[in-house]
Structure 1
Amino acid sequence: MALGDTHGQTPARRRAVVTGASSGIGEAIARRLAAEGLAVDMVSHSQARLERSAARIRGASPDAELRLERADLSSIAETAKLAERLAAPEPPDIVVSNAACTVDPAETTPEGVTRMLAVNHLAPYLLLRSLVRPIGDRPARFVIVGADPGTLARLPVDLDDLHLRRDRLRGPFPSFRPALGYGRTKNMNAMFGYALAARLRGSAITVNGAHPGVIRDTGLGRNDRGLLRVLGRVLGVLPMPGPDTGADTPSWLATSPEVAGLTGRFFAKRREVPTAPHTTDVDRCDRLWEESARLVGLPVEL
Protein backbone atom coordinates (compact mmCIF):
# COMPACT_ATOMS: atom_id res chain seq x y z
CA MET A 1 0.00 0.00 0.00
CA ALA A 2 1.46 3.37 -1.01
CA LEU A 3 1.01 6.45 1.09
CA GLY A 4 1.73 9.62 -0.83
CA ASP A 5 3.53 12.26 1.23
CA THR A 6 4.07 15.59 -0.46
CA HIS A 7 5.82 17.36 2.41
CA GLY A 8 8.30 19.75 0.77
CA GLN A 9 7.37 18.42 -2.67
CA THR A 10 9.56 19.59 -5.53
CA PRO A 11 8.49 17.86 -8.75
CA ALA A 12 11.83 18.50 -10.49
CA ARG A 13 13.80 16.55 -7.90
CA ARG A 14 15.50 13.34 -8.87
CA ARG A 15 13.87 10.37 -7.20
CA ALA A 16 15.43 7.48 -5.31
CA VAL A 17 13.98 4.27 -3.91
CA VAL A 18 15.51 2.66 -0.81
CA THR A 19 14.31 -0.72 0.43
CA GLY A 20 14.67 -1.65 4.07
CA ALA A 21 14.50 2.07 4.82
CA SER A 22 12.78 2.00 8.21
CA SER A 23 15.93 1.44 10.29
CA GLY A 24 19.67 0.87 10.27
CA ILE A 25 21.67 1.29 7.07
CA GLY A 26 18.56 1.74 4.92
CA GLU A 27 17.33 4.67 6.98
CA ALA A 28 20.81 6.20 6.92
CA ILE A 29 20.93 5.89 3.11
CA ALA A 30 17.49 7.49 2.81
CA ARG A 31 18.59 10.32 5.13
CA ARG A 32 21.73 10.97 3.10
CA LEU A 33 19.89 11.01 -0.21
CA ALA A 34 17.18 13.29 1.16
CA ALA A 35 19.85 15.67 2.48
CA GLU A 36 21.29 15.79 -1.06
CA GLY A 37 17.91 17.01 -2.29
CA LEU A 38 16.52 13.81 -3.77
CA ALA A 39 12.92 12.75 -3.33
CA VAL A 40 13.04 9.39 -1.58
CA ASP A 41 10.60 6.49 -1.67
CA MET A 42 11.14 4.56 1.57
CA VAL A 43 10.16 0.89 1.45
CA SER A 44 9.55 -1.35 4.47
CA HIS A 45 7.09 -4.00 5.65
CA SER A 46 6.10 -1.91 8.71
CA GLN A 47 4.06 1.27 8.31
CA ALA A 48 4.69 2.33 11.91
CA ARG A 49 8.45 1.96 11.56
CA LEU A 50 8.39 3.84 8.25
CA GLU A 51 6.60 6.74 9.88
CA ARG A 52 9.09 6.87 12.76
CA SER A 53 12.00 6.72 10.33
CA ALA A 54 10.52 9.47 8.18
CA ALA A 55 10.08 11.66 11.26
CA ARG A 56 13.74 11.20 12.17
CA ILE A 57 14.83 12.08 8.62
CA ARG A 58 12.68 15.20 8.61
CA GLY A 59 14.23 16.15 11.92
CA ALA A 60 17.57 16.32 10.11
CA SER A 61 16.21 17.61 6.76
CA PRO A 62 12.92 19.51 7.26
CA ASP A 63 12.43 19.89 3.50
CA ALA A 64 12.82 16.18 2.79
CA GLU A 65 10.39 14.88 0.20
CA LEU A 66 9.48 11.37 1.28
CA ARG A 67 6.99 8.81 0.05
CA LEU A 68 6.30 5.85 2.30
CA GLU A 69 5.79 2.48 0.62
CA ARG A 70 4.68 -0.41 2.83
CA ALA A 71 5.38 -3.73 1.13
CA ASP A 72 6.18 -7.24 2.30
CA LEU A 73 9.21 -8.14 0.20
CA SER A 74 8.91 -11.79 1.18
CA SER A 75 5.85 -11.88 -1.08
CA ILE A 76 6.48 -12.15 -4.81
CA ALA A 77 3.00 -10.76 -5.48
CA GLU A 78 3.50 -7.73 -3.22
CA THR A 79 6.93 -7.03 -4.70
CA ALA A 80 5.47 -7.06 -8.20
CA LYS A 81 2.76 -4.59 -7.14
CA LEU A 82 5.39 -2.42 -5.47
CA ALA A 83 7.32 -2.24 -8.74
CA GLU A 84 4.17 -1.09 -10.53
CA ARG A 85 3.63 1.69 -7.97
CA LEU A 86 7.24 2.81 -8.09
CA ALA A 87 7.08 3.14 -11.86
CA ALA A 88 4.23 5.65 -11.65
CA PRO A 89 3.90 8.39 -12.64
CA GLU A 90 7.57 8.20 -13.64
CA PRO A 91 10.16 5.57 -12.69
CA PRO A 92 12.94 6.38 -10.22
CA ASP A 93 16.41 7.61 -11.10
CA ILE A 94 18.07 5.55 -8.35
CA VAL A 95 17.19 2.28 -6.63
CA VAL A 96 19.14 1.09 -3.60
CA SER A 97 18.26 -2.52 -2.80
CA ASN A 98 19.12 -2.80 0.89
CA ALA A 99 16.38 -4.87 2.57
CA ALA A 100 17.51 -8.20 4.03
CA CYS A 101 16.64 -10.60 6.81
CA THR A 102 18.31 -13.40 8.75
CA VAL A 103 15.85 -16.13 9.72
CA ASP A 104 15.81 -19.92 9.94
CA PRO A 105 16.32 -21.30 6.40
CA ALA A 106 13.37 -23.62 7.05
CA GLU A 107 10.97 -20.68 7.34
CA THR A 108 8.84 -20.35 4.22
CA THR A 109 6.33 -17.85 2.86
CA PRO A 110 2.68 -18.57 1.97
CA GLU A 111 3.89 -18.76 -1.65
CA GLY A 112 6.11 -21.72 -0.71
CA VAL A 113 9.43 -19.87 -1.00
CA THR A 114 12.12 -19.86 1.65
CA ARG A 115 11.65 -16.49 3.36
CA MET A 116 15.33 -15.57 3.37
CA LEU A 117 15.63 -16.36 -0.34
CA ALA A 118 12.52 -14.32 -1.06
CA VAL A 119 13.54 -11.17 0.83
CA ASN A 120 17.28 -11.18 0.22
CA HIS A 121 17.43 -12.28 -3.41
CA LEU A 122 14.15 -12.75 -5.22
CA ALA A 123 12.74 -9.36 -4.16
CA PRO A 124 15.65 -7.33 -5.60
CA TYR A 125 15.72 -9.60 -8.65
CA LEU A 126 12.04 -8.99 -9.34
CA LEU A 127 12.01 -5.32 -8.37
CA LEU A 128 15.00 -4.20 -10.40
CA ARG A 129 14.09 -6.30 -13.42
CA SER A 130 10.55 -4.91 -13.35
CA LEU A 131 11.80 -1.31 -13.36
CA VAL A 132 14.11 -1.70 -16.36
CA ARG A 133 11.38 -1.36 -18.98
CA PRO A 134 9.68 1.69 -17.36
CA ILE A 135 13.06 3.42 -17.04
CA GLY A 136 13.78 2.78 -20.70
CA ASP A 137 16.50 5.04 -22.12
CA ARG A 138 16.71 7.31 -19.09
CA PRO A 139 19.92 7.32 -17.02
CA ALA A 140 19.48 5.41 -13.77
CA ARG A 141 21.56 3.72 -11.09
CA PHE A 142 20.86 0.45 -9.32
CA VAL A 143 22.85 -0.24 -6.14
CA ILE A 144 22.66 -3.65 -4.48
CA VAL A 145 23.83 -3.77 -0.87
CA GLY A 146 25.78 -6.96 -0.33
CA ALA A 147 28.20 -8.26 2.30
CA ASP A 148 31.90 -8.88 2.88
CA PRO A 149 33.36 -10.60 -0.21
CA GLY A 150 36.15 -12.21 1.82
CA THR A 151 33.79 -13.94 4.22
CA LEU A 152 31.37 -14.89 1.47
CA ALA A 153 34.08 -16.55 -0.59
CA ARG A 154 33.64 -19.58 1.68
CA LEU A 155 29.89 -19.78 1.08
CA PRO A 156 29.27 -20.45 -2.64
CA VAL A 157 25.68 -20.62 -3.79
CA ASP A 158 24.43 -24.16 -4.28
CA LEU A 159 22.57 -23.76 -7.55
CA ASP A 160 20.77 -27.04 -6.95
CA ASP A 161 19.50 -25.78 -3.59
CA LEU A 162 18.41 -22.15 -3.86
CA HIS A 163 15.86 -22.83 -1.13
CA LEU A 164 18.67 -23.59 1.35
CA ARG A 165 17.29 -27.01 2.31
CA ARG A 166 20.23 -29.36 1.93
CA ASP A 167 21.79 -30.96 4.98
CA ARG A 168 25.20 -29.49 4.29
CA LEU A 169 23.82 -26.04 5.07
CA ARG A 170 22.81 -27.19 8.51
CA GLY A 171 26.28 -27.70 9.97
CA PRO A 172 27.03 -28.87 13.53
CA PHE A 173 25.33 -25.88 15.19
CA PRO A 174 21.68 -25.37 14.20
CA SER A 175 21.65 -21.80 15.53
CA PHE A 176 24.21 -20.83 12.86
CA ARG A 177 21.99 -21.94 9.97
CA PRO A 178 20.51 -18.47 9.46
CA ALA A 179 23.99 -16.95 9.11
CA LEU A 180 25.02 -19.57 6.56
CA GLY A 181 21.82 -19.07 4.57
CA TYR A 182 22.22 -15.30 4.76
CA GLY A 183 25.75 -15.58 3.36
CA ARG A 184 24.56 -17.59 0.41
CA THR A 185 21.78 -15.12 -0.40
CA LYS A 186 24.29 -12.27 -0.24
CA ASN A 187 26.42 -14.12 -2.80
CA MET A 188 23.27 -14.34 -4.91
CA ASN A 189 23.07 -10.53 -4.71
CA ALA A 190 26.55 -10.20 -6.20
CA MET A 191 25.81 -12.75 -8.93
CA PHE A 192 22.55 -11.05 -9.82
CA GLY A 193 24.26 -7.67 -9.98
CA TYR A 194 26.85 -8.94 -12.44
CA ALA A 195 24.23 -10.71 -14.55
CA LEU A 196 21.93 -7.68 -14.69
CA ALA A 197 24.81 -5.32 -15.51
CA ALA A 198 25.87 -7.60 -18.37
CA ARG A 199 22.35 -7.61 -19.80
CA LEU A 200 22.06 -3.83 -19.50
CA ARG A 201 25.48 -3.05 -20.94
CA GLY A 202 25.12 -0.31 -23.53
CA SER A 203 22.06 1.13 -21.79
CA ALA A 204 21.96 4.18 -19.50
CA ILE A 205 21.30 2.02 -16.41
CA THR A 206 24.26 1.09 -14.23
CA VAL A 207 24.32 -1.74 -11.66
CA ASN A 208 26.85 -1.99 -8.85
CA GLY A 209 27.21 -3.84 -5.56
CA ALA A 210 28.38 -2.46 -2.23
CA HIS A 211 29.67 -3.90 1.03
CA PRO A 212 28.62 -1.48 3.80
CA GLY A 213 31.11 -2.88 6.32
CA VAL A 214 30.56 -4.63 9.63
CA ILE A 215 28.01 -2.31 11.20
CA ARG A 216 26.18 -2.24 14.52
CA ASP A 217 22.44 -1.59 14.93
CA THR A 218 21.39 -3.07 11.60
CA GLY A 219 18.61 -5.20 13.12
CA LEU A 220 19.77 -8.29 11.24
CA GLY A 221 20.41 -10.18 14.46
CA ARG A 222 16.98 -9.67 15.99
CA ASN A 223 15.99 -13.28 15.24
CA ASP A 224 19.27 -14.89 16.35
CA ARG A 225 19.09 -17.85 18.71
CA GLY A 226 21.51 -20.05 20.68
CA LEU A 227 25.21 -19.70 19.99
CA LEU A 228 24.62 -17.19 17.19
CA ARG A 229 22.81 -14.92 19.65
CA VAL A 230 25.64 -15.27 22.16
CA LEU A 231 28.17 -14.40 19.47
CA GLY A 232 26.09 -11.37 18.50
CA ARG A 233 26.08 -10.13 22.07
CA VAL A 234 29.85 -10.55 22.33
CA LEU A 235 30.38 -8.64 19.11
CA GLY A 236 27.90 -6.02 20.28
CA VAL A 237 30.24 -4.83 23.03
CA LEU A 238 33.10 -4.29 20.56
CA PRO A 239 33.57 -0.87 18.99
CA MET A 240 31.95 -0.90 15.57
CA PRO A 241 30.79 1.90 13.29
CA GLY A 242 27.11 2.76 13.06
CA PRO A 243 24.62 2.77 10.20
CA ASP A 244 25.74 6.13 8.84
CA THR A 245 29.15 4.65 8.07
CA GLY A 246 27.44 1.68 6.45
CA ALA A 247 25.42 4.04 4.27
CA ASP A 248 28.49 5.80 2.89
CA THR A 249 29.49 3.54 -0.01
CA PRO A 250 25.92 2.72 -1.20
CA SER A 251 24.98 6.43 -1.13
CA TRP A 252 28.17 7.36 -2.95
CA LEU A 253 27.44 4.81 -5.65
CA ALA A 254 23.92 6.18 -5.96
CA THR A 255 24.87 9.82 -6.58
CA SER A 256 28.58 10.49 -7.04
CA PRO A 257 29.81 11.74 -10.43
CA GLU A 258 33.01 9.76 -9.73
CA VAL A 259 31.23 6.52 -10.63
CA ALA A 260 29.00 7.80 -13.40
CA GLY A 261 28.87 5.20 -16.15
CA LEU A 262 30.62 2.48 -14.13
CA THR A 263 28.69 -0.77 -14.02
CA GLY A 264 29.11 -4.41 -13.08
CA ARG A 265 31.46 -3.63 -10.18
CA PHE A 266 31.55 -4.28 -6.44
CA PHE A 267 32.77 -1.69 -3.94
CA ALA A 268 33.80 -1.48 -0.30
CA LYS A 269 34.89 1.76 1.35
CA ARG A 270 34.42 3.48 -2.02
CA ARG A 271 36.99 1.23 -3.65
CA GLU A 272 36.36 -1.46 -6.22
CA VAL A 273 37.05 -4.90 -4.76
CA PRO A 274 36.96 -8.40 -6.26
CA THR A 275 34.41 -11.00 -5.27
CA ALA A 276 34.93 -14.76 -5.31
CA PRO A 277 35.30 -16.53 -8.68
CA HIS A 278 32.15 -18.52 -7.96
CA THR A 279 30.19 -15.23 -8.01
CA THR A 280 31.62 -14.01 -11.31
CA ASP A 281 31.44 -17.24 -13.31
CA VAL A 282 29.15 -16.38 -16.22
CA ASP A 283 27.56 -19.82 -16.47
CA ARG A 284 26.75 -19.84 -12.76
CA CYS A 285 25.34 -16.32 -12.91
CA ASP A 286 23.21 -17.22 -15.92
CA ARG A 287 21.85 -20.30 -14.22
CA LEU A 288 20.93 -18.31 -11.11
CA TRP A 289 19.24 -15.75 -13.36
CA GLU A 290 17.20 -18.42 -15.11
CA GLU A 291 16.14 -20.20 -11.90
CA SER A 292 15.19 -16.87 -10.32
CA ALA A 293 13.10 -15.93 -13.34
CA ARG A 294 11.20 -19.17 -12.99
CA LEU A 295 10.58 -18.62 -9.29
CA VAL A 296 9.18 -15.10 -9.72
CA GLY A 297 7.29 -15.80 -12.95
CA LEU A 298 9.32 -13.65 -15.35
CA PRO A 299 10.63 -14.65 -18.76
CA VAL A 300 14.33 -15.47 -18.88
CA GLU A 301 15.01 -12.78 -21.46
CA LEU A 302 15.22 -9.30 -19.99
Structure 2
Amino acid sequence: MVRHVSNTALPYLPEPEPLQCGRFTLSFERPLVMGILNVTPDSFSDGGKFEMRGDALRQAERMMLDGADLIDIGGESTRPGAPPVPLDEELERVIPLIEQLHDAQVPLSVDTYKPEVMRHALAAGADLINDIWGFRRPGAIDAVRDSLCGLCVMHMFGEPQTMQVGEPAYEDVVSEVRAFLEQRVVALMQAGIAKRRISVDPGFGFGKAVVEHNYALLAHLPETAPRGEPPFAAPVPILAGMSRKSMLGSVTGRAASERVAASVAAAICAAERGAAILRVHDVAETVDGLKVWAAMRDATRRS
Protein backbone atom coordinates (compact mmCIF):
# COMPACT_ATOMS: atom_id res chain seq x y z
CA MET A 1 0.00 0.00 0.00
CA VAL A 2 1.31 3.46 -0.93
CA ARG A 3 0.72 6.22 1.59
CA HIS A 4 0.84 9.89 0.65
CA VAL A 5 2.23 12.55 2.98
CA SER A 6 1.27 16.19 2.64
CA ASN A 7 4.13 18.69 2.44
CA THR A 8 2.39 20.95 4.91
CA ALA A 9 3.70 21.21 8.47
CA LEU A 10 2.81 18.32 10.72
CA PRO A 11 0.28 19.12 13.43
CA TYR A 12 1.67 19.24 16.95
CA LEU A 13 1.46 15.76 18.37
CA PRO A 14 0.25 14.95 21.88
CA GLU A 15 3.00 14.40 24.41
CA PRO A 16 3.34 10.78 25.56
CA GLU A 17 2.70 9.90 29.16
CA PRO A 18 5.77 9.81 31.44
CA LEU A 19 7.65 6.51 31.37
CA GLN A 20 8.40 4.67 34.61
CA CYS A 21 12.01 3.61 34.21
CA GLY A 22 13.39 1.96 37.32
CA ARG A 23 14.81 4.68 39.58
CA PHE A 24 13.57 7.37 37.20
CA THR A 25 10.38 8.74 35.70
CA LEU A 26 11.03 10.07 32.20
CA SER A 27 8.94 12.93 30.86
CA PHE A 28 8.90 14.00 27.25
CA GLU A 29 8.66 17.77 27.00
CA ARG A 30 11.47 17.21 24.49
CA PRO A 31 12.83 14.05 22.84
CA LEU A 32 15.37 12.25 25.01
CA VAL A 33 18.71 11.09 23.62
CA MET A 34 19.79 7.51 24.31
CA GLY A 35 23.50 6.93 23.77
CA ILE A 36 24.47 3.55 22.31
CA LEU A 37 27.22 1.64 24.12
CA ASN A 38 28.00 -1.56 22.24
CA VAL A 39 30.46 -3.74 24.16
CA THR A 40 30.73 -6.24 21.31
CA PRO A 41 33.43 -7.16 18.79
CA ASP A 42 31.03 -7.31 15.84
CA SER A 43 28.37 -4.58 15.95
CA PHE A 44 27.81 -3.14 12.48
CA SER A 45 29.10 0.38 13.21
CA ASP A 46 31.33 0.42 16.29
CA GLY A 47 32.10 -3.24 16.91
CA GLY A 48 35.32 -3.71 18.88
CA LYS A 49 35.80 -0.04 19.80
CA PHE A 50 34.45 -0.39 23.35
CA GLU A 51 35.02 -4.08 24.00
CA MET A 52 37.52 -3.33 26.78
CA ARG A 53 35.78 -2.27 29.97
CA GLY A 54 37.87 0.85 30.49
CA ASP A 55 37.11 2.05 26.96
CA ALA A 56 33.41 1.38 27.51
CA LEU A 57 33.34 3.35 30.76
CA ARG A 58 35.13 6.29 29.15
CA GLN A 59 32.68 6.26 26.25
CA ALA A 60 29.72 6.21 28.64
CA GLU A 61 31.16 9.18 30.53
CA ARG A 62 31.78 11.01 27.25
CA MET A 63 28.19 10.46 26.11
CA MET A 64 26.82 11.70 29.43
CA LEU A 65 28.96 14.84 29.20
CA ASP A 66 27.69 15.32 25.64
CA GLY A 67 24.09 15.32 26.89
CA ALA A 68 22.86 11.72 26.77
CA ASP A 69 19.67 11.27 28.78
CA LEU A 70 20.01 7.46 28.85
CA ILE A 71 22.74 4.93 28.11
CA ASP A 72 21.85 1.71 26.25
CA ILE A 73 24.32 -1.12 26.89
CA GLY A 74 24.43 -3.99 24.41
CA GLY A 75 26.44 -7.18 24.86
CA GLU A 76 25.34 -8.97 21.69
CA SER A 77 25.31 -7.62 18.15
CA THR A 78 21.90 -7.67 16.49
CA ARG A 79 23.10 -6.71 13.02
CA PRO A 80 21.67 -8.89 10.21
CA GLY A 81 23.30 -12.30 10.28
CA ALA A 82 24.98 -11.82 13.66
CA PRO A 83 25.55 -15.09 15.57
CA PRO A 84 24.11 -15.46 19.08
CA VAL A 85 26.45 -14.85 22.01
CA PRO A 86 26.71 -17.41 24.83
CA LEU A 87 24.86 -16.36 27.97
CA ASP A 88 27.94 -16.25 30.21
CA GLU A 89 29.79 -14.08 27.71
CA GLU A 90 26.96 -11.56 27.42
CA LEU A 91 26.67 -11.36 31.21
CA GLU A 92 30.40 -10.78 31.54
CA ARG A 93 30.25 -7.92 29.04
CA VAL A 94 27.18 -6.18 30.47
CA ILE A 95 26.79 -6.69 34.23
CA PRO A 96 30.08 -5.11 35.42
CA LEU A 97 29.29 -1.99 33.38
CA ILE A 98 25.86 -1.63 34.97
CA GLU A 99 27.42 -1.95 38.42
CA GLN A 100 30.11 0.63 37.67
CA LEU A 101 27.74 3.12 36.01
CA HIS A 102 24.91 2.74 38.51
CA ASP A 103 25.81 5.86 40.50
CA ALA A 104 25.98 8.11 37.42
CA GLN A 105 22.34 9.23 37.85
CA VAL A 106 21.47 8.45 34.23
CA PRO A 107 18.96 5.71 33.39
CA LEU A 108 20.75 2.55 32.26
CA SER A 109 19.12 0.50 29.52
CA VAL A 110 20.18 -3.02 28.57
CA ASP A 111 19.68 -4.21 25.00
CA THR A 112 18.94 -7.93 25.37
CA TYR A 113 16.34 -10.55 24.52
CA LYS A 114 17.58 -13.20 26.97
CA PRO A 115 15.47 -13.55 30.15
CA GLU A 116 18.53 -14.56 32.18
CA VAL A 117 20.38 -11.41 31.16
CA MET A 118 17.29 -9.34 31.99
CA ARG A 119 17.17 -10.79 35.51
CA HIS A 120 20.86 -10.24 36.20
CA ALA A 121 20.78 -6.75 34.67
CA LEU A 122 17.86 -5.69 36.85
CA ALA A 123 19.54 -7.13 39.94
CA ALA A 124 22.65 -5.09 39.06
CA GLY A 125 20.61 -1.89 38.78
CA ALA A 126 19.42 -1.55 35.16
CA ASP A 127 16.46 0.79 34.69
CA LEU A 128 15.14 -0.26 31.28
CA ILE A 129 15.12 -3.46 29.23
CA ASN A 130 15.24 -2.90 25.47
CA ASP A 131 14.13 -6.15 23.80
CA ILE A 132 14.34 -6.59 20.02
CA TRP A 133 12.12 -9.67 20.37
CA GLY A 134 9.33 -7.72 22.06
CA PHE A 135 9.34 -9.92 25.19
CA ARG A 136 8.16 -12.92 23.17
CA ARG A 137 10.78 -15.41 24.30
CA PRO A 138 9.73 -17.83 27.05
CA GLY A 139 10.44 -16.34 30.45
CA ALA A 140 10.98 -12.77 29.24
CA ILE A 141 7.78 -11.35 30.72
CA ASP A 142 8.36 -13.18 33.99
CA ALA A 143 11.87 -11.72 34.15
CA VAL A 144 10.61 -8.13 34.15
CA ARG A 145 7.10 -8.39 35.60
CA ASP A 146 7.83 -7.69 39.26
CA SER A 147 10.37 -4.89 38.83
CA LEU A 148 9.77 -1.19 38.19
CA CYS A 149 11.96 -1.15 35.09
CA GLY A 150 10.89 0.44 31.84
CA LEU A 151 10.35 -1.80 28.83
CA CYS A 152 10.92 -1.13 25.15
CA VAL A 153 9.01 -3.46 22.83
CA MET A 154 10.47 -3.65 19.32
CA HIS A 155 9.02 -5.01 16.09
CA MET A 156 11.22 -7.43 14.19
CA PHE A 157 10.33 -9.47 11.11
CA GLY A 158 12.06 -12.84 11.61
CA GLU A 159 15.24 -12.91 13.72
CA PRO A 160 18.70 -11.34 13.39
CA GLN A 161 20.15 -14.36 11.58
CA THR A 162 17.44 -14.36 8.90
CA MET A 163 15.56 -11.04 9.03
CA GLN A 164 17.16 -9.59 5.89
CA VAL A 165 17.34 -12.84 3.91
CA GLY A 166 15.23 -12.31 0.83
CA GLU A 167 12.88 -9.35 0.64
CA PRO A 168 10.68 -8.76 3.72
CA ALA A 169 7.06 -8.56 2.57
CA TYR A 170 4.20 -6.53 4.04
CA GLU A 171 0.79 -5.57 2.73
CA ASP A 172 0.98 -2.34 4.75
CA VAL A 173 4.11 -2.07 6.86
CA VAL A 174 2.81 0.76 9.06
CA SER A 175 -0.45 -0.98 9.97
CA GLU A 176 1.25 -4.33 10.49
CA VAL A 177 3.94 -2.90 12.75
CA ARG A 178 1.31 -1.03 14.78
CA ALA A 179 -0.83 -4.18 15.11
CA PHE A 180 2.16 -6.18 16.33
CA LEU A 181 3.20 -3.55 18.86
CA GLU A 182 -0.36 -3.16 20.13
CA GLN A 183 -0.67 -6.92 20.58
CA ARG A 184 2.60 -7.04 22.53
CA VAL A 185 1.67 -4.07 24.74
CA VAL A 186 -1.70 -5.67 25.52
CA ALA A 187 0.05 -8.96 26.37
CA LEU A 188 2.36 -7.16 28.79
CA MET A 189 -0.55 -5.33 30.41
CA GLN A 190 -2.54 -8.55 30.73
CA ALA A 191 0.48 -10.02 32.51
CA GLY A 192 0.20 -7.27 35.12
CA ILE A 193 2.73 -4.77 33.77
CA ALA A 194 1.56 -1.16 34.01
CA LYS A 195 1.24 0.77 30.76
CA ARG A 196 3.35 3.58 32.26
CA ARG A 197 6.36 1.22 32.07
CA ILE A 198 6.05 0.50 28.34
CA SER A 199 7.53 2.13 25.24
CA VAL A 200 7.65 0.84 21.65
CA ASP A 201 10.11 0.77 18.75
CA PRO A 202 9.03 0.12 15.12
CA GLY A 203 12.36 -1.62 14.50
CA PHE A 204 14.04 0.32 11.71
CA GLY A 205 16.26 -2.10 9.78
CA PHE A 206 14.94 -5.22 11.49
CA GLY A 207 13.28 -7.20 8.72
CA LYS A 208 12.38 -4.20 6.58
CA ALA A 209 13.14 -3.41 2.93
CA VAL A 210 15.93 -0.86 3.19
CA VAL A 211 14.19 2.11 1.56
CA GLU A 212 10.52 1.27 1.05
CA HIS A 213 9.60 0.02 4.52
CA ASN A 214 11.97 2.03 6.70
CA TYR A 215 11.06 5.39 5.21
CA ALA A 216 7.36 4.58 5.28
CA LEU A 217 7.73 3.92 9.01
CA LEU A 218 9.62 7.17 9.51
CA ALA A 219 7.12 9.21 7.49
CA HIS A 220 4.23 7.73 9.48
CA LEU A 221 5.99 7.29 12.81
CA PRO A 222 3.04 8.43 14.98
CA GLU A 223 0.87 5.76 13.35
CA THR A 224 3.22 2.94 14.40
CA ALA A 225 2.38 3.26 18.10
CA PRO A 226 -0.79 2.01 19.81
CA ARG A 227 -3.11 5.00 20.28
CA GLY A 228 -6.73 6.08 20.26
CA GLU A 229 -9.18 3.98 22.25
CA PRO A 230 -8.55 3.04 25.90
CA PRO A 231 -6.15 1.82 27.15
CA PHE A 232 -4.26 3.88 24.55
CA ALA A 233 -5.96 7.25 24.96
CA ALA A 234 -2.52 8.75 25.63
CA PRO A 235 0.18 7.74 23.13
CA VAL A 236 2.76 5.14 24.10
CA PRO A 237 6.29 6.63 23.93
CA ILE A 238 8.10 5.76 20.70
CA LEU A 239 11.82 4.97 20.57
CA ALA A 240 13.41 5.53 17.16
CA GLY A 241 16.77 3.97 16.34
CA MET A 242 18.13 4.75 12.88
CA SER A 243 21.66 5.80 13.77
CA ARG A 244 24.19 4.89 11.03
CA LYS A 245 21.90 2.17 9.63
CA SER A 246 21.80 0.95 6.05
CA MET A 247 18.59 2.88 5.38
CA LEU A 248 20.78 6.00 5.59
CA GLY A 249 23.63 4.53 3.57
CA SER A 250 21.21 3.54 0.82
CA VAL A 251 20.28 7.17 0.13
CA THR A 252 23.64 8.84 0.89
CA GLY A 253 26.03 6.23 -0.49
CA ARG A 254 28.17 6.54 2.64
CA ALA A 255 29.74 3.87 4.84
CA ALA A 256 28.43 3.41 8.39
CA SER A 257 31.22 5.49 9.94
CA GLU A 258 30.40 8.39 7.57
CA ARG A 259 26.67 8.60 8.33
CA VAL A 260 26.76 11.09 11.21
CA ALA A 261 25.02 13.90 9.31
CA ALA A 262 22.42 11.52 7.91
CA SER A 263 21.84 10.08 11.38
CA VAL A 264 21.21 13.53 12.85
CA ALA A 265 18.84 14.34 9.98
CA ALA A 266 16.93 11.12 10.62
CA ALA A 267 16.75 11.89 14.34
CA ILE A 268 15.29 15.34 13.61
CA CYS A 269 12.72 13.79 11.26
CA ALA A 270 11.75 11.37 14.03
CA ALA A 271 11.54 14.16 16.60
CA GLU A 272 9.27 16.12 14.27
CA ARG A 273 7.05 13.05 14.09
CA GLY A 274 6.74 12.58 17.82
CA ALA A 275 9.59 10.25 18.80
CA ALA A 276 10.07 10.33 22.57
CA ILE A 277 13.51 8.67 22.65
CA LEU A 278 16.22 8.79 19.98
CA ARG A 279 18.77 5.97 20.12
CA VAL A 280 22.04 7.26 18.64
CA HIS A 281 25.78 6.69 18.40
CA ASP A 282 26.65 10.39 17.99
CA VAL A 283 25.27 12.08 21.07
CA ALA A 284 26.82 15.55 20.85
CA GLU A 285 25.82 16.05 17.23
CA THR A 286 22.27 14.84 17.89
CA VAL A 287 21.88 17.07 20.95
CA ASP A 288 22.98 20.10 18.90
CA GLY A 289 20.61 19.22 16.08
CA LEU A 290 17.71 18.89 18.49
CA LYS A 291 18.48 22.28 20.03
CA VAL A 292 18.16 23.92 16.61
CA TRP A 293 14.97 21.98 15.87
CA ALA A 294 13.49 22.94 19.27
CA ALA A 295 14.29 26.63 18.73
CA MET A 296 12.51 26.52 15.36
CA ARG A 297 9.55 24.67 16.86
CA ASP A 298 9.22 27.15 19.71
CA ALA A 299 9.40 30.10 17.33
CA THR A 300 6.68 28.53 15.19
CA ARG A 301 4.42 28.11 18.21
CA ARG A 302 4.89 31.76 19.19
CA SER A 303 4.07 33.06 15.74
Q: TM-score range by the shorter chain?
A: 0.3 to 0.5
Compute the TM-score of the two structures, normalised by the length of structure 2. 0.37
Instruction: Identify the structure with the greater helix proportion.
Output: 1
Q: Report the TM-score when normalising by structure 1.
A: 0.37
